[in-house]
Structure 1
Amino acid sequence: MVASVASEAGSNEGGVKRSHIRAGTRVLFSFGAGALAFGIVALLMPWQVATLIGWSASAAVFISSVWVSVGRMDGGATAEFAMREDDSRAAADLILITASAASLLGVALTLLKASGESGSSRVFISAIGTLSVILSWGAVHTVFMLRYARLYFAGGGGIDFNDDETPNYMDFAYIAFTIGMTYQVSDTAVTVKDIRTTALRHALLSYVFGTGVVAMLINVVAGLLNR
């Protein structure tokens, strides 16, 4: 399998080089887009709404840029991309996950603002809050998708995909989003401690995040029904 991965990685090196963006650069670009969106919206709307729109723009740019880069990679390109040296990854991951969690507080403040509004204004603010939560959820699990790929290829395996082919990013997305939605792995056995520990942290974060998401969506629906 190692030889196969190396061979596939070599054949895909050119495509990986073209698609590789350092994690820190990707995050800075995403937050730059969010800051621009915030600056424009803040001229027209309350700061709570502008903040959520800014964060939503950041999360959308991050998710889109990741999936444009890795979404169509095969196993060899995935291995090459995942194993590239990038000392900005840990900080970038921490910033994104922290910002995603903090955005829930922003949603709560925005919903508080929406409670004082009526009609289309309340619907719009509530919709922005809901969109922000969805994008935050997607950003967190996209970060973990990338992390599982790094751990897998750096350690020479550790997840049994029940398949002889080298896994690509869609396989790691399957792991990440399954844990994100169910707080457990399904038919893919985890066989090494590093990945198992990461999966545990991911499941705990997903549970806290999911609880907050459900609570806020109930709040949004209740608010709209009572308007």
Structure 2
Amino acid sequence: MRPDPGPRSVPPAFHASARLKLFVAVAAGALACVVAALGGAGRTSPLIGWDVLAVVFGGWTWRVVWRLDPALTRTHAQEENPSRDLADALLIGASLASLVAVGVVLFGASHAPGNERYWEAALAVFSVFVSWTIVHTVFTLKYARLYYLGTPGGIDFNEPDPPQYSDFAYLAFTIGMTFQVSDTDLQTKEIRRAALRHAWMSFPLGAVIIATSINLVSGLAK
């Protein structure tokens, strides 16, 4: 591996903390939920709110981290560390809880009249997708944090350059889709424990995606 270039200052535009991102996303989601409820969305209002929250947080996060080189990735991961744990727990909890709401909406969609059933089914599918994406986004940030906290290391990406966020996304989404690592080597117990938790959470998410697809096809075919 080539020598780590060391941390660099993160541009001011990238300085929003995880808590600030989450606060803004929650506010946007709550507003969307209220507006949807007042507009007659009924049981779909919470899912609409969650989708807005997830899109705001996820979009903001990826807009920031995707362009960072290895040195800025290291700085960003280290600066995010104090404020990330609470945000991680809340986001993962909300992602899993949203799947319950998806079940409620899908059940209602099968009994909804006319085109309403197609709208509710599409909303359920989109909600599962954003929940799945948020969980793996959280773990992308977590792997970067674990790698760069203290002396960099713990994951071998089999290349000489230090890793950046796109490399950690590759690891996170590979585990999310296959429940295993592919061509990366996890070298510390802490990172292996994180990967185990990640794979464990990914399995029910994958099961829900399959169940949603089956219910969607059978429900709309009636």
TM over 0.5, shorter chain:
yes
5+ long unaligned stretches in structure 2: none
SS of the residue corresponding to residue 4 of structure 1 reads coil
Matches for 1:117-196 after TM superposition, within 5 Å: 117-155=112-150, 156-196=152-192
Whether the aligned pair in 2 keeps the contact of 1:26 and 1:62 (CA below 8 Å) is yes
Letter in 1 for 2:34: G
SS of the residue corresponding to residue 116 of structure 1 reads coil
Encode CA deviations 1:43-99: one digit per residue, 9 max, x unaligned: 123432111111000001111000111111111110010011543211110000000
Report the Cα distance in structure 2 between the residues aligned to 1:56 and 1:85, rounded to whole angstroms. Answer: 24
Report the Cα distance in structure 1 between the residues aligned to 2:95 and 2:43, rounded to whole angstroms. Answer: 16
Report the Cα distance in structure 1 between the residues aligned to 2:10 and 2:213, rounded to whole angstroms. Answer: 44
Corresponding residue for 1:207? 203
Aligned length in residues: 221
Query: Against the structure 1 CA distance between its residues 179 and 110, is the aligned structure 2 distance closer, same or farther, given a 3 Å change threshold?
Result: same
**Shift of the alpha carbon at 1:151?**
0.2
**Shift of the alpha carbon at 1:189?**
0.8
Letter in 1 for 2:105: T
Corresponding residue for 1:81? 76
Whether the aligned pair in 2 keeps the contact of 1:20 and 1:69 (CA below 8 Å) is no
RMSD over aligned Cα atoms: 1.5
Single out whichever of 169-178 and 79-88 deviates more from structure 2: 79-88
Report the Cα distance in structure 2 between the residues aligned to 1:151 and 1:5, rounded to whole angstroms. Answer: 18
Whether the aligned pair in 2 keeps the contact of 1:5 and 1:79 (CA below 8 Å) is no
Corresponding residue for 2:4? 4
| Aligned-residue identity in percent | 44
**Shift of the alpha carbon at 1:2?**
9.1
Whether the aligned pair in 2 keeps the contact of 1:22 and 1:86 (CA below 8 Å) is no
In the alignment, does 2:20 pair up with 1:25? yes
Corresponding residue for 1:60? 55
Match of 1:218 among 206, 214, 221: 214
**Shift of the alpha carbon at 1:217?**
2.0
**Shift of the alpha carbon at 1:119?**
2.3
Match of 1:38 among 14, 33, 44: 33
**Shift of the alpha carbon at 1:14?**
4.3
Report the Cα distance in structure 2 between the residues aligned to 1:104 and 1:119, rounded to whole angstroms. Answer: 24
Corresponding residue for 1:91? 86
TM-score, normalised relative to structure 2? 0.95
Whether the aligned pair in 2 keeps the contact of 1:161 and 1:189 (CA below 8 Å) is yes
Whether the aligned pair in 1 keeps the contact of 2:17 and 2:80 (CA below 8 Å) is no
Letter in 2 for 1:145: T
Report the Cα distance in structure 2 between the residues aligned to 1:110 and 1:162, rounded to whole angstroms. Answer: 44
Encode CA deviations 1:192-216: one digit per residue, 9 max, x unaligned: 1110000000001001111122112
TM-score, normalised relative to structure 1? 0.93
Letter in 2 for 1:157: G
